[in-house]
Amino acid sequence: MDLRTPIKNARGLGSAKNGVTHWWLQRVTAVALVPLVIWFAFSLASNAGGNHAEVTAWIASPLTAGLFILLIGTVFFHAQLGLQVVIEDYVHGKVAQLACLLAVKFLAFILAVTGILAVLRIALGG
């Protein structure tokens, strides 16, 4: 006899109540990051050696600024998902784990906002 109600199977959300959302978002951001990171590494390598005027002119171009913003957003979203798993694996104790998780999530958000604002300030000449 199956004691589970059919709706549990229909929803497919499992005991963690979020199904494969975390796993799936980790993969989606990973796929997005493949071209973004390759662009970032090679583009940065050929542009980062300039002086302030040259580097800011490069960042300010709409394509570069746009890709930088997408990269920063995706990187920190992907990073906090990954760090969450690491913390859940290695940090034991409810309070310590929750504290670490909140710290990582908040920090990722702060860094992403800071980075995006820096790019916007360069791009819009604030």
Partner 1 sequence: MEQQDRPLSPHLQVYRPQLTSVMSISHRVCGVALSVGSLLLIYWLSAAAAGPEAFSRAQGMLGGFFGQIILFLFTYALFYHLCNGVRHLYWDSGNGLEIDAVYRTGYIVIGVSIALTLLVWILAYATGGGA
> Does residue 76 bind partner 1 (CB under 8 A)?
yes
Verify binding: residue 109, partner 1, rule CB under 8 A. no
Please give the Cα distance from 104 to 87 (Å, whole number). 9
String marking each residue 84-103 x if it binds partner 1 according to CB under 8 A: --x-----------------
Least distance in Å: CB of 8 to partner 1? 25
The candidate with the shortest Cα–Cα distance to 71, out of 104, 34, 118, 122, is 34
The reply to whether 67 sits near partner 1 by the rule CB under 8 A is no
| DSSP string over 38-86 | HHHHHHHHHHTTS-HHHHHHHHHSHHHHHHHHHHHHHHHHHHHHHHHHH
Where do contacts with partner 1 occur on this chain (CB under 8 A)? 27, 30-31, 33-34, 37-38, 41-42, 44-53, 55-56, 59, 68, 72, 75-76, 79, 82-83, 86, 108, 111, 114-115, 117-119, 121-122
